[in-house]
Amino acid sequence: MQQLTEPQIRGSFVNCTKGEAARLHVPRDLDERPFADLDFLGWRDPGAPDRCALVAERPDGSLVGIALRFPPPQRGFLQRSLCSLCLTTHPRSGVSLLTARRAGKAGREGNSVGLYMCTDLACPLYVRGLKQAEPGARFEESLTQEEQIERLNTKLNAFLDNVLK
């Protein structure tokens, strides 16, 4: 992924108004993010624990940003969940159903789509082995790392396509 600036990020949002995009929290450490190892930039809003955002570069080179919501935390003792993008398992609330309002008229009518993702939005780093989940959280796969990255991007772009419908 290319290095992003705050204006690029704010201008990429498709499922919120320009005013909402202007008020979104954008990470202050953009210069320190490992963009070369990211398939998308994802972050949580520290002022609103039920909100996060994601910006991805589409196959045509355009940027698409989406605002997402987290469900309220569930209480569970031995529950483990699997991320749909990177296939990493996490205990308890490490994977959440993130929902995005659809773009355009469908979103204004209240339609949304969801995807089970790592709550810390670090899927690209898990796939590349740059961030470690707990032991046994990543399945040993016969796919190469490049194939796993391609799978992550295919699933992410399918989700973004659903948001854009």
Least confident window among 5-9, 33-37, 78-82: 78-82
> What is the pLDDT at residue 74?
63
> How much is the mean pLDDT over the chain?
91
Give yes or no for residue 90 having a pLDDT over 60.
Answer: yes
Cα distance between residue 48 and residue 140, in whole Å: 35
pTM of the full predicted structure?
0.89
- The count of C-alpha atoms lying within 13 angstroms of the C-alpha of 87, restricted to the half-sphere facing its C-beta, is 16
Please count the other Cβ atoms lying within 10 Å of the Cβ belonging to residue 34: 12
Cα distance between residue 1 and residue 150, in whole Å: 13
Mean pLDDT of 135-163: 92
Cα distance between residue 59 and residue 103, in whole Å: 19
> What is the pLDDT at residue 8?
96
Give yes or no for residue 75 having a pLDDT over 70.
Answer: no
Domain ranges of the chain: 6-164
- Which of 94, 84, 80, 147 is closest to 116 using CA atoms? 84
